[in-house]
Amino acid sequence: MKVTALAAHTPEAVRAALAARGWEPQPAWFAASGLQFLLLSLEEITEAEREELVRWSVRAGVDVLTGDGWALLGGVASRLAPLARPDRVPSGLETVSAEIARFLAAYAEPPQAWVIAGGAIPLDRPGLIGILNVTPDSFSDGGRFVGVERALAQAERLKADGCTLLDVGGESTRPGAAPVPVADELERVVPVVEAIVRRGLGPVSVDTRKSEVARAAIGAGAAVVNDVSAGSFDPDLLRVVARTGVGVILMHMRGTPATMDGLATYLHVATEVAAELRVAAERAEAAGVAGERIAVDPGFGFAKTAEQNFRLLDELAAVVRLGYPVVVGPSRKRFLGAAVGRPVEDRDRATAVACALAWERGARLFRVHDVALVREALTVASATTNPT
């Protein structure tokens, strides 16, 4: 008899073991997913629900830790699944069952593509979003690409390096940044979007919090709106997105760029960021945005300390399990500089490592400055997680 440990952090090890023993690909992957260990946090549960949950967990062979108004459930997916079935759920746990069912649906069938205007971006391989700041004061490259000709030249470089989507921004959202008047932002962004689309370098995203800028950029050919405020700064922006059928990135941030550093207070950063993004996504869907067009971004560097950013990176599954494609934008951020001691212009290697870690944890879209370096890192990372 031989005993060999299999890797537990991914279903791939079980899938490969079953495939080696003659299983067909689809049932092997389904069974492997069922053996994957899941840890769920339940909040705002009643005392009666808590007691019934404890009784159910004993029968189901699921571990549970509980306290006043909360519970942590741990077990393989196949043991948690019966709790999501209406015909199996114990009396008194109907509300819990509905939420577990929602979670397991996102776990079992993660999105395969992100729908944007004019097409879709597949998620079976890394999608690279190239940052194109046309601002004089961005934290990393302010002033370098101001003007249509310089912006267009950078867009061509990013596209040649393997970028999937070009993200054009006309307002810096670095910590402490002041807002930019709409007229100035329009003047910076719209001609650049038009030129990129005319040159055939799209698709293009517009990085803006303002509905008027979004509307004009979409008219110029933008296929995505990237809103760092997740629709809270200008509520009409979500209605513009819904009416025009573009994709949208909803990013987590508290306050504004001028106030966000003072709002980095969390008891458990990953679960709180996920909960706030879930509210933002529900707000977008209520405004008429189709769920398949929504991507979410945990907002690395926005209203988060260096320690909180690293904790959020490690626990990114909390955001991934919302069921929307996840965008990450750690590129050259302060928290990476705090870790490696490098200035902003020398953080691309740290960015590549952060993106590779985020891929392993479920992110599929990566907003970066140095597309070529990150693409190489993600090629290696994705080779370990994509089954053959």
CA–CA separation, 147 vs 31, rounded Å?
Answer: 54
Is residue 189 predicted with pLDDT exceeding 70?
yes
Among 365, 337, 362, 363, residue whose Cα is nearest residue 351: 337
pLDDT band at 2 (very low <50, low <70, confident <90, very high): confident
Same domain, 96 and 128: no
| Residues making up the chain, counted from first to last | 388
Same domain, 247 and 326: yes
Alpha carbons 179 and 256: distance in angstroms, whole number = 9
Distance of CA 244 to the CA centre of its chain: 22
Are 136 and 200 within one domain?
Answer: yes
Burial classification of residue 372, based on how many CB atoms lie within 10 Å of its CB (0-12 exposed, 13-18 middle, 19 or more buried): middle
pLDDT at 291: 97
100 lies in the same domain as 136 = no
Query: Rounded distance, CA 65 to CA 63, Å?
Result: 7
Inform me whether the pLDDT recorded for 174 exceeds 80: no
Domain that holds residue 75: 36-108
Domain limit, last residue, from 61, 89, 108: 108
Instruction: Count CA atoms within 13 Å of residue 313 on its CB side.
Output: 24
pLDDT tens digits for range 328-369: 999 999 999 999 999 999 999 999 999 999 999 999 999 999
CA–CA distance, 13 with 29 (Å, rounded to integer) = 10
Interatomic CA distance for residues 26 and 12, integer angstroms: 12
**61: how many CB neighbours lie within 10 A of its CB?**
9
For residue 82, the model assigns a pLDDT of: 92
Answer whether residue 135 shows pLDDT above 90: no
* Average confidence (pLDDT) over 73-101: 92
Q: In this structure, are 215 and 357 located in the same domain?
A: yes
For 226-282, write each residue's pLDDT tens digit.
Answer: 999 999 999 999 999 999 999 999 999 999 888 998 999 999 999 999 999 999 999
Does a structural domain hold residue 377?
Answer: yes
Together in a domain, 125 and 87: no
Question: 108, 142, 159: which is the final residue of a domain?
Answer: 108
pLDDT at 142: 55
Neighbours of 100 (CB within 10 A): 21
CATH code of residue 210: 3.20.20.20
For the chain, what is the mean pLDDT?
Answer: 93
Q: Assess whether 195 and 327 both reside in one domain.
A: yes
Is 31 contained in some domain? Answer: no
Q: Report the alpha-carbon distance of residue 122 to residue 124 in Å, rounded.
A: 6
First to last CA, the chain: 29
Contact indicator for 199, 92 with CB cutoff of 8 Å: no
Model pLDDT, residue 140: 57
Q: Which of 108, 130, 157 is the last residue of a domain?
A: 108
- The pTM for the full model equals 0.93
- 190: pLDDT strictly greater than 60: yes
Residues designated as active site: 333, 367
